[in-house]
Amino acid sequence: MTMDWLSGYGLQLIFGAVTMLSVALVALVVGTVLGISLGTAKIYGAKPLRYSAEAYTAVVRGVPDLIVIYLIYFGGTVALTKITGQYVDINGFAAGVAALAFIFAAYAGDIFRGAIGQVPRGQTEAAHALGLSPRAAFFRIILPQAWRLALPGFGNLAIILIKQTSLISVIGLEELLRASSVISGATRQPFLVYSVAAILYLIITSIVSWGFRNAGIRSNRGFA
């Protein structure tokens, strides 16, 4: 029994955790870029752009994550099959990352919008008065300050994202939860296996949350 854990199952769980973290990391990066674009569109965009951004957020907020994941996974499969003319099984990793990034972006967009709105107007005015272009003013002056304000909410979202990776198990990607299900089927000890998985999740979310708190303290340098 112990040997099984050390050799096969333990390793399988670790691989599951690694897959989970890779999905989360890629979705985090893609989702952040999308989220900043959405938040920026909501503040600076022209009316049609602004309304589309608002609609996007409203839809993602109103629909379960599972539906988004299914829609992208099965919908993507159907679309690709139609385009290529033969059955294509869409990559679970890609579909999972896309779905989680889309969901992440909707919430991150509002966090960034709030944070950008909290940067005092005088900062933009000073940047303009110094002759900085709107681009430079945004990326050099506004975004670095908004980032600091967005960090707590953003950290919260990152932890939610890590937990959401468990949903990808429904489309067959062997992340941590899926690996646990497989192992508990083999060992017939579901409670034990799922508890181990729970502890792994707890450790990872705790580390990430601690990391964001530290980053928050560090990013506050220069702010009394």
Partner 1 sequence: MLDFSIMADAFPNLLKGAGMTGRLSILILLLGMMLAVPLAYARNAQSIWLHGPASIYILVIRGIPSLLQVFIVYYGLGQFSFVRNSALWPIFRDPFWCVIIALGLNSAAYTAEIIAGALRQVPKGLVEAAQALGLSWFQTQRKVTIPLAVRAALPAYENEVILTIKATSLASTITLLDLTGAARLEVSNTFAPYEVFLTAGAIYFCITTSLSWLLRRFEVRLSAGHRNEERRVKEFQPVLPGIPDH
Partner 2 sequence: MESCSSEGGTVVMSAVTKRFGSFAALKGIGLSVDRGEKIVICGPSGSGKSTLIRCINRIEKHDGGSIVVEGCLLDHRLTNIDKVRREVGMVFQSFNLFPHMTVLENCMLAPMLVRGLKAAEAEDVAISYLRRVRIADQAAKYPSQLSGGQQQRVAIARAMCMKPKIMLLDEPTSALDPEMVKEVLNTMIELAGDGMTMICVTHEMGFARQVADRVIFMDEGAIVEEGAPEQFFRQPKTQRARDFLSQVLH
Residues 57-76 that bind partner 1 (CB under 8 A): 58-59, 61-68, 70-71, 74-75
Retrieve residue 103's tokens: 């969901």
Is 188 a binding residue for partner 2 by CB under 8 A? The answer is no
**Interface stretch with partner 1, choices 1-9, 10-18, 93-101, 193-201 (CB under 8 A):** 193-201
Report the alpha-carbon distance of residue 24 to residue 158 in Å, rounded.
Answer: 8
Continuous segment of H or E residues that includes residue 157: helix 143-164
Is 47 a binding residue for partner 2 by CB under 8 A? The answer is no
Is 126 a binding residue for partner 2 by CB under 8 A? The answer is yes
Instruction: In angstroms, give the least distance from the CB of 137 to partner 2.
Output: 10
Report the alpha-carbon distance of residue 151 to residue 158 in Å, rounded.
Answer: 10
Burial of 83 per CB tally in 10 Å (0-12, 13-18, 19+):
exposed
CB-nearer residue toward partner 2: 98 or 142: 142
Residues 6+ apart with CB under 8 A from 17: 175, 176, 200, 204
Instruction: In angstroms, give the least distance from the CB of 87 to partner 1.
Output: 11
CB-nearer residue toward partner 1: 48 or 62: 62
Burial of 93 per CB tally in 10 Å (0-12, 13-18, 19+):
middle
**Interface stretch with partner 1, choices 93-101, 121-129, 136-144, 186-194 (CB under 8 A):** 186-194
Is 46 a binding residue for partner 2 by CB under 8 A? The answer is no
Q: Which residues of 12-45 are buried (b: 16+ CB within 10 A; e: fewer)?
A: bbeebbebbbebbebbbebbbebbbbbbbbbeeb
Report the alpha-carbon distance of residue 153 to residue 107 in Å, rounded.
Answer: 9
CB-nearer residue toward partner 1: 141 or 167: 167
Instruction: In angstroms, give the least distance from the CB of 160 to partner 1.
Output: 6
Residues engaged in binding partner 1 (CB under 8 A)? 58-59, 61-68, 70-71, 74-75, 77-78, 107, 110-111, 153, 156-157, 160, 163-167, 169-170, 177, 180-181, 184, 188-192, 194-195, 197-198, 201-202, 205-206
